[in-house]
Chain A
Amino acid sequence: MARIVVITSGKGGVGKTTTSAAIATGLALRGHKTAVIDFDVGLRNLDLIMGCERRVVYDFVNVINGDANLKQALIRDKRVDNLYILPASQTRDKDALTQDGVERVLNELSEDFEYIVCDSPAGIERGALMAAYFADEAIVVTNPEVSSVRDSDRILGILASKTRKVEQGGEPIEGKLLLTRYSAERAERGEMLSIEDVGEILAIELLGVIPESQAVLNASNAGQPVVLDEESDAGQAYQDAVDRFLGEERPLRFVDVPKKGFFGRLFKG
């Protein structure tokens, strides 16, 4: 049986797809057979971030409708063993993701994979609800910014009530916080919510903090999951998050302002 992990946030543009690509790649790099599914029907983008956009033949909805089987639709990553991508459909039919259909695909994937990473669309419409419904675990991607934190709290409410686990009488999914686009400098100056502020408001376990980084745009430009950029701060922060996800202890990195020398302090930049 695979563990199903939803990457969700409520708000758009906070880094769900970047995170899905990074976490899935990180899991595969550690030898876990992983599939990452794009649930954003109509606005397919995971394929671009993973750099496999020209290899898409069949998609998630094709498999649900029986137009293709999973083997035909799954794209095997060329860089990392054990990593497969199931792209979203570009159909405009909002109802294409049926609960039965999604369940069938997840069940079939479960037989063969250790982890299934579900890249949720923004919002709280069907795609987002379907991505969360079957999850065993959730990573809530949040920016240190008011609208993102509020939407994350809304999503935590959905995770606590509208999942298969809860409906079957199981424990609600708690959700783990991944704070992205964090700037230690701005937080220290009091211009940005700090890690502690967001932690206090959402009151969930912190999985990691990804610093605001040029490496993220560079990675998406190139279609390379940012974890593969081992030199970069964001790449290393995602690696730490994957380790913590797998139960290892890792200290937070890239969350302190580098100490300035005497002249630096005097003529603060």
Chain B
Amino acid sequence: MGIFDYFRQPRQKSASVAKERLQIIVARERAARSGPDYLPAMQQELLQVIRKYVQVDDDAVQMNVDREGDCEVLELNITLPDDKE
């Protein structure tokens, strides 16, 4: 620290921002990798089934596999559109 630093605005160090962002995205991508191979295909098929009845966006079906002890939990979230047709 030089004496001139005392007059500078303190701000969050960019490296710590980088680290935080990386930890989050890397954890998410690792979770996606470690899921069963059939997940993406299943997601697509579910999307097609849902679309028989209601028009939804491509990202309307969200799937997540969590491990709780010996149990694997498949979490499925379907977002329906707001306006009813």
Query: What residues make up the interface of A, taking CB atoms closer than 8 Å to B?
Result: 145-146, 149-150, 153-154, 157, 187, 189-194, 197, 200-201, 265-268
Given A157-B33, A190-B16: A268 and B22 within 8 A (CB)?
no
Is the CB–CB distance between B23 and A201 below 8 Å? yes
Taking a contact as CB atoms closer than 8 A, the residue among B5, B15, B22, B29 that contacts A154 in the complex is: B29
User: Residue B71 at the A interface, CB < 8 A?
Assistant: no
20 A-B pairs, CB-CB below 8 angstroms? A146-B18, A146-B21, A146-B22, A150-B26, A150-B29, A154-B29, A157-B29, A157-B33, A189-B13, A190-B13, A191-B14, A193-B18, A193-B19, A197-B18, A197-B19, A200-B19, A201-B22, A201-B26, A267-B2, A267-B4
For the complex formed, measure the closest distance between the CB of A124 and the CB atoms of chain B, giving whole angstroms: 12
Nearest Cβ distance between residue A264 and chain B, in whole angstroms? 9
Judge whether B15 and A192 touch: CB under 8 Å.
Answer: yes
Closest to A147 in B: B22
Flag whether B30 is at the interface (Cβ < 8 A): yes
Q: Find out whether the CB atom of B3 lies under 8 angstroms from the CB atom of A150.
A: no
Q: How far is the CA of A260 from the CA of B19 in the complex (A)?
A: 28
Give A146 to B3 CA distance when docked, in angstroms. Answer: 32
Q: A191–B3 contact, CB under 8 A?
A: no
Decide if B2 touches A266 in the complex (CB within 8 Å).
yes
* B interface majority secondary structure: helix
Q: Is B49 close to A, CB under 8 A?
A: no
A268-B4, A268-B5 are contacts. A149–B22 as well, Cβ < 8 Å?
Answer: yes
Q: Are B15 and A157 in contact (CB under 8 A)?
A: no
Interface residues of B in 1-47 (CB under 8 A from A): 1-5, 13-16, 18-19, 21-23, 25-26, 29-30, 33
In the docked arrangement, what's the CA distance between A259 and B58, Å? Answer: 56
- Whether the Cβ atoms of B1 and A191 lie closer than 8 Å is no
Minimum CB–CB distance for A95 against chain B, Å? 24
Once bound together, how far apart are the Cα atoms of A198 and B77, in whole Å? 33
Pick the contact of A265: B2, B15, B26 (CB < 8 A): B2
Q: Inside 8 A of B25's CB, which chain A residues have their CB?
A: 150
Interface residues as binary, B39-64 with A (CB distance below 8 Å gives 1, 0 otherwise): 00000000000000000000000000
User: Could you tell me the distance in whole angstroms from the C-beta of A129 to the nearest C-beta in chain B?
Assistant: 15
Nearest-neighbour CB distance to chain A for B17, whole angstroms, equals 9
Cross-chain contact B15 with A150 (CB below 8 angstroms): no
Known pairs A157-B30, A191-B14. 9 more at Cβ < 8 A?
A: A149-B22, A150-B22, A153-B30, A190-B14, A190-B15, A197-B18, A201-B22, A265-B2, A267-B4
Q: Which residue of B lies closest to A153 (CB)?
A: B26
Residues of chain A within 8 A of B22, CB atoms compared: 146, 149-150, 193, 201
Q: Which residues of A contact B33 (CB under 8 A)?
A: 157
Contacts of B23 in A (CB 8 A): 201
> From residue B49, how far is it (CB to closest CB) to chain A in Å?
30
A265 surroundings in chain B (CB, below 8 A): 1-2
A149: which B residues are within 8 A, CB to CB?
22, 26
